[in-house]
Amino acid sequence: QVQLVESGGGSVQAGGSLRLSCTGSGYTISRYCMGWFRQAPGEEREKVATIYTDALSTTYADSVKGRFAISQDNAKNTLVLQMNSLKPEDTAMYYCAATARPYGCHSASPYEYDYWGQGTQVTVSS
Protein backbone atom coordinates (compact mmCIF):
# COMPACT_ATOMS: atom_id res chain seq x y z
CA GLN A 1 0.00 0.00 0.00
CA VAL A 2 2.89 2.36 0.79
CA GLN A 3 4.99 3.22 -2.24
CA LEU A 4 7.88 5.63 -2.75
CA VAL A 5 9.06 6.42 -6.26
CA GLU A 6 12.27 8.33 -7.03
CA SER A 7 12.99 10.27 -10.18
CA GLY A 8 15.42 12.86 -11.50
CA GLY A 9 18.62 10.85 -11.69
CA GLY A 10 20.90 10.90 -14.69
CA SER A 11 24.40 11.65 -15.92
CA VAL A 12 26.10 14.99 -15.35
CA GLN A 13 29.61 16.42 -15.52
CA ALA A 14 31.48 17.31 -12.35
CA GLY A 15 30.29 20.66 -11.05
CA GLY A 16 26.80 20.18 -12.44
CA SER A 17 23.46 19.85 -10.68
CA LEU A 18 20.59 17.39 -10.42
CA ARG A 19 17.26 17.53 -8.61
CA LEU A 20 15.91 14.25 -7.26
CA SER A 21 12.28 13.75 -6.30
CA CYS A 22 10.52 11.08 -4.25
CA THR A 23 6.76 10.87 -4.47
CA GLY A 24 4.77 8.92 -1.93
CA SER A 25 1.48 7.11 -2.31
CA GLY A 26 -0.49 5.54 0.53
CA TYR A 27 1.78 7.62 2.77
CA THR A 28 1.79 11.30 3.73
CA ILE A 29 5.46 12.24 3.83
CA SER A 30 5.05 15.31 6.05
CA ARG A 31 3.86 13.14 8.96
CA TYR A 32 6.95 10.93 9.21
CA CYS A 33 10.75 10.92 9.15
CA MET A 34 12.30 10.81 5.70
CA GLY A 35 15.74 10.71 4.19
CA TRP A 36 17.90 10.18 1.15
CA PHE A 37 20.48 7.39 1.08
CA ARG A 38 22.92 6.33 -1.59
CA GLN A 39 24.82 3.18 -2.43
CA ALA A 40 27.70 2.69 -4.84
CA PRO A 41 28.71 -0.75 -6.15
CA GLY A 42 30.55 -2.73 -3.48
CA GLU A 43 29.74 -0.12 -0.85
CA GLU A 44 27.29 0.01 2.05
CA ARG A 45 24.21 2.17 1.87
CA GLU A 46 24.91 5.53 3.53
CA LYS A 47 22.87 8.50 4.66
CA VAL A 48 22.93 11.56 2.45
CA ALA A 49 20.37 13.77 4.17
CA THR A 50 17.36 13.54 6.49
CA ILE A 51 14.40 15.76 7.24
CA TYR A 52 11.99 16.00 10.16
CA THR A 53 8.32 15.22 9.64
CA ASP A 54 7.28 18.87 9.34
CA ALA A 55 10.64 20.11 7.98
CA LEU A 56 11.62 21.67 11.32
CA SER A 57 15.16 20.34 10.98
CA THR A 58 17.49 18.66 8.52
CA THR A 59 20.80 16.79 8.68
CA TYR A 60 23.47 16.09 6.08
CA ALA A 61 26.41 13.79 5.65
CA ASP A 62 29.66 15.73 5.98
CA SER A 63 30.55 14.87 2.40
CA VAL A 64 27.54 16.75 0.99
CA LYS A 65 27.17 19.70 3.37
CA GLY A 66 26.97 22.98 1.52
CA ARG A 67 26.24 21.23 -1.78
CA PHE A 68 22.99 19.31 -1.27
CA ALA A 69 19.66 20.48 0.14
CA ILE A 70 16.74 18.33 1.28
CA SER A 71 13.20 19.68 1.30
CA GLN A 72 9.55 18.65 1.18
CA ASP A 73 6.80 19.77 -1.16
CA ASN A 74 3.84 18.75 0.96
CA ALA A 75 1.26 19.85 -1.60
CA LYS A 76 2.71 17.27 -4.01
CA ASN A 77 3.56 14.72 -1.27
CA THR A 78 7.12 14.82 -2.59
CA LEU A 79 10.58 14.73 -1.00
CA VAL A 80 13.27 16.63 -2.91
CA LEU A 81 17.07 16.49 -2.94
CA GLN A 82 18.73 19.37 -4.76
CA MET A 83 22.32 18.41 -5.59
CA ASN A 84 24.78 21.09 -6.67
CA SER A 85 28.51 21.09 -7.35
CA LEU A 86 28.40 17.37 -8.00
CA LYS A 87 31.59 15.33 -7.73
CA PRO A 88 32.51 11.95 -9.24
CA GLU A 89 32.37 10.44 -5.74
CA ASP A 90 28.67 11.32 -5.63
CA THR A 91 28.06 8.62 -8.23
CA ALA A 92 25.66 6.06 -6.73
CA MET A 93 22.14 4.75 -6.68
CA TYR A 94 20.07 7.17 -4.63
CA TYR A 95 17.16 5.93 -2.52
CA CYS A 96 14.29 7.66 -0.79
CA ALA A 97 13.45 6.25 2.65
CA ALA A 98 10.73 6.76 5.24
CA THR A 99 9.88 5.59 8.75
CA ALA A 100 6.56 4.21 9.95
CA ARG A 101 6.69 6.48 12.99
CA PRO A 102 6.46 10.27 13.44
CA TYR A 103 9.34 10.48 15.92
CA GLY A 104 13.01 9.56 16.32
CA CYS A 105 14.00 11.21 13.05
CA HIS A 106 17.43 11.83 11.52
CA SER A 107 18.82 8.32 11.96
CA ALA A 108 21.87 7.61 9.83
CA SER A 109 21.18 3.87 9.86
CA PRO A 110 19.25 2.46 6.91
CA TYR A 111 17.87 -0.19 9.26
CA GLU A 112 15.76 2.45 11.02
CA TYR A 113 13.69 3.07 7.90
CA ASP A 114 10.64 1.03 6.98
CA TYR A 115 9.87 2.06 3.40
CA TRP A 116 12.16 2.46 0.40
CA GLY A 117 11.90 3.55 -3.18
CA GLN A 118 13.39 1.58 -6.06
CA GLY A 119 16.31 3.99 -6.46
CA THR A 120 17.44 6.40 -9.15
CA GLN A 121 20.95 6.33 -10.62
CA VAL A 122 23.21 9.38 -10.42
CA THR A 123 26.42 9.33 -12.45
CA VAL A 124 28.94 12.17 -12.26
CA SER A 125 31.79 12.20 -14.77
CA SER A 126 35.08 14.00 -14.30
Give every CB contact of residue 28 below 8 A, 6+ residues apart in sequence: 77
Q: In the prediction, which pLDDT does 54 show?
A: 64
Residue 103 reports pLDDT greater than 90: no
Tens-place pLDDT, residues 4-56: 999 999 999 999 999 999 999 988 888 889 999 999 999 999 999 999 866 67
- What is d(CA 41, CA 28) in angstroms, rounded to the nearest whole number? 31
- What is d(CA 120, CA 21) in angstroms, rounded to the nearest whole number? 9
- What is d(CA 106, CA 118) in angstroms, rounded to the nearest whole number? 21
